[in-house]
Amino acid sequence: MVIEATPVGAEAWRRHIQDIGEHSLLPLADLWYMGANIPGKQRELLSYFSVREYMDRCEDSARNGYEGFVLR
């Protein structure tokens, strides 16, 4: 089985991660988890900070038929 994020699901996740980052000082930092170590890369948060919230979101997606994903 293959599971792949839909374009809409991937963009929603990216926006969610960016919203989290905007409520912190991380966008002001010159650090690898903002993509600063890759010349020309757009600076954006690359990590998720809450394991519990991440698991909750995964479980919600599974309960909703893996919303935001295509399963093949």
Tens of pLDDT, residue by residue over 12-68, are: 999 999 888 888 888 888 888 788 888 888 888 877 888 999 999 999 999 999 999
Q: What confidence score (pLDDT) does residue 66 get?
A: 95
Tally of structural domains, the chain: 1
- The beta strand positions in the chain, using DSSP E, are 3-5, 69-71
pLDDT (tens digit per residue) in 1-18: 999 999 999 999 999 998
How far CA 41 is from CA of 24, 33, 60, in Å, comes to: 20, 12, 31
**Torsion sign, CA atoms 17, 20, 22, 25:** negative
Residue 53 domain boundaries:
3-71
pTM confidence score:
0.76
